[in-house]
Amino acid sequence: MRALILSDIHSNIDALEAVLEAAPKFDVVWNLGDIVGYGGTPNEVVERVRELGEIFVRGNHDRACAGLIHAQEFNPVALYAVHWTQQELTRDNMDWMRTVPRGPILPADSQVTCVHGAPRDEDQYLLSMGDAWQQKEHLSNPLTLFGHTHVQGGFSLSTEGGGGYHTPIYSSHDKVDFYELNLRREGTKYLINPGSVGQPRDRDWRAAFALYDDEAHRITFGRVPYPVHVAQIRIQRAGLPESLATRLRRGR
Ligand code: ZN
């Protein structure tokens, strides 16, 4: 079984379509949340991910845009995008957004846990090795997939006490690129982030994703260029804050 792992698409249909075109063959899609927020094409993205189906976990922006939390703790730019998205979403897409479940979600017949932030707190950012160690007692499966930080890579924690930080290394900055991480079959737990499809923050502007192959026991990280200028024009035409457009090119 090969699962395409998507996270933090953030209403960027141009990035999502580029990922779907470049991704190696997959059987299912597991979506780690923040489907909407920030970008200019919420309905297009919601409709596309609904078609792709399978596993969904809600993100903090999904919750806010669906009106399930007060978004007052969001910064002013994010909050503006939440209100714009609420007005923009069709009734049907809004109704669907309200049904996206809270993590952790455990896909059937897998030894995988899917979360948005962290296993016990959907809003927690896992950024450092220390953050990863704190999760150790809460990792029921050998592999936990998370998003939220918009940084591609992850952590391994061995039962003997060692740990590692995994950052994909790519040969280019502007082409389709892949990086393979072979997972140990025993004695190690992994926390893996596919990166953000629609608003990367790891200084690489290309759309990020990952593929999990349970037979090969391998994660393949991927980056794909997409027409950023088109996504930027959509943000500008929507009247969303300019910073949401400019940051896409910087990748942070
Ligand atoms: Zn996000």
Query: Ligand 1 centroid to 91 CA: how many Å?
Result: 23
Interval 96-107: pLDDT, tens: 999 999 999 999
**What are the b/e assignments for 36-52, b being 16+ CB within 10 Å?**
bbbbbbbbbbbbbbeeb
Query: Ligand 1 centroid to 187 CA: how many Å?
Result: 31
State the average pLDDT over residues 164-189: 95
pLDDT in the model for residue 12: 98
Interval 3-49: pLDDT, tens: 999 999 999 999 999 999 999 999 999 999 999 999 999 999 999 99
Taking alpha carbons only, the member of 61, 53, 58, 1 closest to residue 32 is 58
Query: Ligand 1 centroid to 189 CA: how many Å?
Result: 24
pLDDT in the model for residue 161: 83
Query: Ligand 1 centroid to 118 CA: how many Å?
Result: 13
Query: Ligand 1 centroid to 149 CA: how many Å?
Result: 7
Query: Ligand 1 centroid to 162 CA: how many Å?
Result: 29
61-67, Cβ contacts within 8 angstroms, sequence gap of 24 or more: 61/10, 61/34, 61/35, 61/36, 61/37, 62/33, 62/34, 62/35, 62/36, 62/37, 62/97, 62/100, 64/37, 65/36, 65/37, 65/89, 65/97, 66/94, 66/97, 66/98, 66/100, 67/98
What's the pTM value of the predicted model, to 2 decimals?
Answer: 0.96
State the average pLDDT over residues 216-228: 98
Interval 47-74: pLDDT, tens: 999 999 889 999 999 999 998 887 778 9
Tell me whether strands 2-6 and 207-213 are parallel, antiparallel or unpaired. Answer: antiparallel
More confident: 97 or 159: 97
Query: Ligand 1 centroid to 161 CA: how many Å?
Result: 31
pLDDT in the model for residue 73: 82
Query: Ligand 1 centroid to 55 CA: how many Å?
Result: 17
Query: Ligand 1 centroid to 122 CA: how many Å?
Result: 11
pLDDT in the model for residue 71: 72
pLDDT for 116 beyond 90:
yes
pLDDT for 192 beyond 80:
yes
More confident: 79 or 53: 79
Query: Ligand 1 centroid to 172 CA: how many Å?
Result: 25
Report d(CA 99, CA 231) in Å as an integer: 27
Query: Ligand 1 centroid to 251 CA: how many Å?
Result: 13
pLDDT in the model for residue 95: 96
pLDDT for 146 beyond 90:
yes
Confidence tier at 114 by pLDDT (50, 70, 90): very high
